[in-house]
Amino acid sequence: MAIFDGDDTPWAVTKRVFSARYQALTDTISRRIMHRTLKIGVSARIFHPEPGSTGLRSKTLQYLEESIAHWVMSRDVMVFMIPTVNANSLLHPSNIRLRDYAKHLDGLVLQGGADVSPQSYSSTPTRPEWNGDRARDMYELELLHEFFEASKPVLGICRGCQLINVAFGGTLYQDIASDVPNAIEHVSALYDSHRHTVTFPQGSTLAALFSNHAEPVVNSIHHQAIKDLGRDLTVEAVSGPDNIVEAIRYRKARFVMGVQWHPEFHRAHGADLLDCTPILDQFLRAARETRF
C-alpha cells in the first residue's frame, strides 16, 4: 500500500503537473506576444476637394507622406494608415470606430501637415490663411483620445506635437514671425533643408537620451508653435536661439510625446542632423510593454 505524506498526495502531484504546464503555456504565449511584429497606426493627412476640380482633386483624399512610413518601418514594424470614420455615411455606413483601431494597433504616430485650427483651442484666426484644418483636428483629437484611453503610446510629429499640446488644453502661436518678432526663422523656402540648433532642458528625457550631443541640429518646417503649455506637459526641447518649444512630453502616461521637427527627414547615423532613431526606439519599446 502506497503511503503519501505532505506534498506527495495524488492531488498535490496532479496540481504541480498542471501548474507547471500552465506556466509553460503562459511563458510561450508571453514570448509570442513580445516577439509579434508591432503594428503602428499613423494618422492620415487629408486633401479636401478643390472647388471646380474634376477627377481625384474633386474627392477627399487621405494619405501618408512616404518618409514617415519608411522611418517607422525601418525598425521592422508594420505601419497602417488610420482613415477617418463616418458612422452617419449614407453611401458606405460602417460600425467601425477609431477606438477599434486603438484596440488592435500597438501605438500611434500623428504625422505633420496642415495648420491646427485656432478654433480647436478656442481662438480666432488672425488671418484667413491661418484657418487650419478643423476637420482633421477633430479626427486626430478623437484618435489621440482613443489611444490615450487604451494606454497605447503616441508620438506626434510637427503638427502632431502641436495637436498634443492643444488636446491637453494648451494654445499655439498662429504665426511665429508675427507673434514672436524676436524669434529666428522657423520656416523658409528651403523646406526640410532649413535647420537650427535645439537644447534639451536639464532633467528632461531627451537630455538623458542625447547626453553626448553638445549642439544638436534639427530641421525646421513650421510657422506655428506652442504658446501656452497644456496641463501635465513638460518641455523636452527648445530652439537654441529663441527658446521656442520644440518637444513636449505628457508626464502621466508611459509615452505621449511630440517633437516639432521632422525626424523622418533626418538620416540615421547622419553627421549633420540629429539621429532620432533613439526616440523611435523608445516609442516602440513602450508599444511592446503596453500591449498586454
64-103 pLDDT, tens digit each: 999 999 999 999 999 999 999 987 766 788 899 999 999 9
Q: What residues are annotated to the active site?
A: 158, 262, 264
Give the per-residue pLDDT at 213.
Answer: 86
Which amino acid is located at 1 in the chain?
Answer: M
User: Mean pLDDT across the stretch 238-258?
Assistant: 96
How far is CA 9 from its chain centroid? 56
Tens-place pLDDT, residues 7-17: 667 676 566 66
The residue with cell 500500500 is 1
pLDDT tens digits, 90-142: 678 889 999 999 999 999 999 999 999 999 999 999 999 999 999 999 999 99
pLDDT at 56 (0 to 100)? 87
Q: Is the pLDDT of residue 30 over 70?
A: no
* pLDDT score recorded for residue 19: 64
Pick from 113-127, 248-262, 269-283: least confident: 269-283
- Coil/strand/helix, residue 67: helix
If phi over 0 gives left and psi between -120 and 50 gives alpha, with beta otherwise, what is residue 37? beta
Q: What's the pLDDT score for residue 269?
A: 66
- In sequence order, what are the residues at sequence separation of 6 or more whose Cβ sits closer than 8 angstroms to the Cβ of residue 2? none
Average pLDDT over residues 240-257: 96
* Strand stretches in 139-289, DSSP E: 154-157, 172-173, 195-199, 217-219, 225-226, 233-239, 245-250, 256-259
Q: What is the mean pLDDT of residues 162-189?
A: 97
User: Residue 29's pLDDT is what?
Assistant: 45
Q: Average pLDDT in the 263-281 region? A: 89
Average pLDDT over every residue of 141-152: 98
- Global pTM value: 0.86
Cell matching residue 16: 504541480
Query: Locate cell 504565449: which residue?
Result: 29
- Residue 123 pLDDT: 97
**Ordered strands of the 39-43 beta sheet:** 78-82, 39-43, 107-110, 154-157, 256-259, 245-250, 233-239, 195-199, 217-219
Q: Could you report how far apart the first and last alpha carbons of the chain are, in Å? A: 49
What is the C-alpha to C-alpha distance for residues 147 and 119, in angstroms, rounded to an integer? Answer: 23
Residues of the chain with pLDDT > 90, as a percent, come to 75
Confidence class of residue 40 from pLDDT cuts 50, 70 and 90? very high
Hey, what domains does the chain have and what are their CATH numbers?
A: 37-289 (3.40.50.880)
Quick check: 161 and 260 in contact, CB under 8 A? yes
Model pLDDT, residue 21: 62
CB neighbour class for 258 (10 Å; exposed up to 12, middle 13-18, buried from 19): buried
For residue 33, pLDDT over 80 is answered with no
**pLDDT above 60: residue 153:** yes
Query: What's the pLDDT score for residue 246?
Result: 98
Rounded mean pLDDT of 238-259?
96
Least confident range from 2-11, 60-69, 172-181, 204-213: namely: 2-11
